[in-house]
């Protein structure tokens, strides 16, 4: 890992139709590039947010027909940035959908993709309930991508609660972790900042967490607060609740500095678990 880059997190309020969402995201990417960004990250479900399995399946496309993939490839090439295309709903052969994150290099090549591992199947207070596994097929591999600034570990939203994934990515060579998200408001208020700072501190990585914000299809609310977090845990940028983007300079030397001070990634111990009194 080397150098200093300017990273941006884009914050959007995605609607139900793909093409208007792409246009809105593209405009923000161009603005972020004009502000000096070298690496730009977009949120989960950047091409659409709809509620219900039937509505998702009406709109998603297989990878070779998905309009967002060539759109973001062309956008990366046009702007000359490395672009994380949040996640897209990609129709699979078995009729389910991958919640898939794509990373494009500055020439518009899709250098890596990652399918969200952990499905958001939860029941919150007030009757707010989600069953991501009813529509989406979980991935089965972690992904670490090489960039000019070091390894990028790709994750998505609910993955944030599974610390072992981030530790594995950091130990494999990640210096930047990406967490495109569409966090709910209750879980965002309670956990978003804390979990993102924890993942940065535990791994000594920069964390880029672009997020959805506002009111979506059928009144679904997302939390916003796209964050950029430093390896020592400081929040370098917070987008609050507005559509837009935030920028921060990432000095990659800070990764090794944090890991020298607290080399926890090298302190793993094997152990047995003793259950007493059960």
User: At 126, is the pLDDT very low, low, confident or very high (cuts 50, 70, 90)?
Assistant: confident
Whether 157 is catalytic is yes
Contacts of 272 (CB under 8 A, 6+ apart): none
Can you tell me the mean pLDDT for 17-30? Answer: 97
Determine what percent of the chain is predicted with pLDDT higher than 90.
98
Question: What is the dihedral sign for C-alpha 157, 158, 159, 164?
Answer: positive
Residue 69 contacts residue 88 (beta carbons within 8 Å)? yes
Structural domain span for residue 160: 4-261
Q: Which of 6, 9, 17, 44 is catalytic?
A: 44
| Spatial contact of 139 and 116, defined as CB atoms under 8 Å apart | yes
97, 56 in Cβ contact below 8 A? yes
Residue 132 lies in a domain: yes
Identify the active-site residue in 157, 234, 249, 274. 157
Q: Is the pLDDT of residue 2 over 70?
A: no
- Whether residue 268 lies inside any domain: the answer is no
pTM: 0.97
Binned at pLDDT 50, 70 and 90, residue 18 comes out as very high
Question: pLDDT digit string (tens) for 107-123?
Answer: 999 999 999 999 999 99
9 is annotated as an active-site residue: no
Residue 275 in any domain: the answer is no
Give domain status of residue 273, yes or no: no
Helices (H), the chain: 18-34, 53-59, 68-79, 163-172, 185-187, 193-203, 253-261
Radius of gyration of the chain (CA): 18
Q: Is residue 278 part of a domain?
A: no
Q: Which of 207, 222, 214 is nearest to 84 (CA)?
A: 207
- Is there a domain that residue 245 lies in? yes
The total domain count for the chain is 1
Q: Where residue 63 sits, what CATH number does that domain have?
A: 3.60.110.10
Residue 147 forms part of a structural domain: yes
| Cβ pair 122, 131 in contact under 8 A | no
For 67-107, the pLDDT digits (tens) are 999 999 999 999 999 999 999 999 999 999 999 999 999 99
Q: Does some domain include residue 269? A: no
What digits encode the pLDDT tens for the residues 219-265? 999 999 999 999 999 999 999 999 999 999 999 999 999 999 999 99
Active-site position among 116, 202, 234, 256: 116
Q: Is the pLDDT of residue 214 over 70?
A: yes
């Amino acid at each position: 890992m080397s150098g200093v880059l300017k990273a941006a997190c884009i914050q959007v309020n995605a609607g139900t139709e793909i093409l208007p969402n792409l246009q809105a995201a593209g405009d923000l990417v161009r603005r972020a590039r004009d502000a000096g960004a070298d690496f730009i990250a977009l949120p989960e479900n950047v091409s659409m947010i709809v509620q219900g399995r039937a509505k998702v399946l009406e709109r998603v496309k297989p990878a070779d027909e998905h309009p967002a993939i060539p759109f973001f490839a062309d956008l990366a090439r046009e702007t000359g940035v490395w672009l994380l295309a949040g996640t897209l709903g990609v129709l699979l052969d078995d009729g389910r959908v991958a919640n898939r994150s794509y990373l494009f290099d500055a020439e518009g090549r899709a250098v890596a993709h990652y399918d969200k591992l952990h499905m958001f199947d939860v029941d919150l207070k007030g009757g707010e309930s989600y069953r991501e596994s009813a529509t989406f097929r979980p991935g089965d591999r972690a992904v670490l991508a090489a960039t000019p600034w070091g390894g990028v570990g790709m994750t998505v939203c609910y993955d944030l609660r599974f610390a072992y994934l981030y530790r594995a990515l950091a130990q494999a060579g990640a210096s930047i972790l990406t967490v495109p998200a569409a966090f709910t408001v209750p879980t965002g208020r309670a956990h978003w900042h804390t979990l993102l700072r924890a993942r940065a501190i535990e791994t000594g990585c920069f964390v880029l967490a672009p997020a959805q914000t506002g009111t979506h299809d059928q009144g679904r609310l997302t939390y916003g607060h796209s964050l950029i977090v430093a390896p020592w845990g400081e929040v370098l940028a917070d987008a609050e609740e507005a559509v837009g983007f935030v920028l921060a300079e990432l000095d990659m030397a800070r990764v090794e500095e944090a890991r020298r001070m607290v080399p926890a990634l090298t302190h793993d111990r094997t152990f047995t678990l003793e259950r007493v009194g059960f």
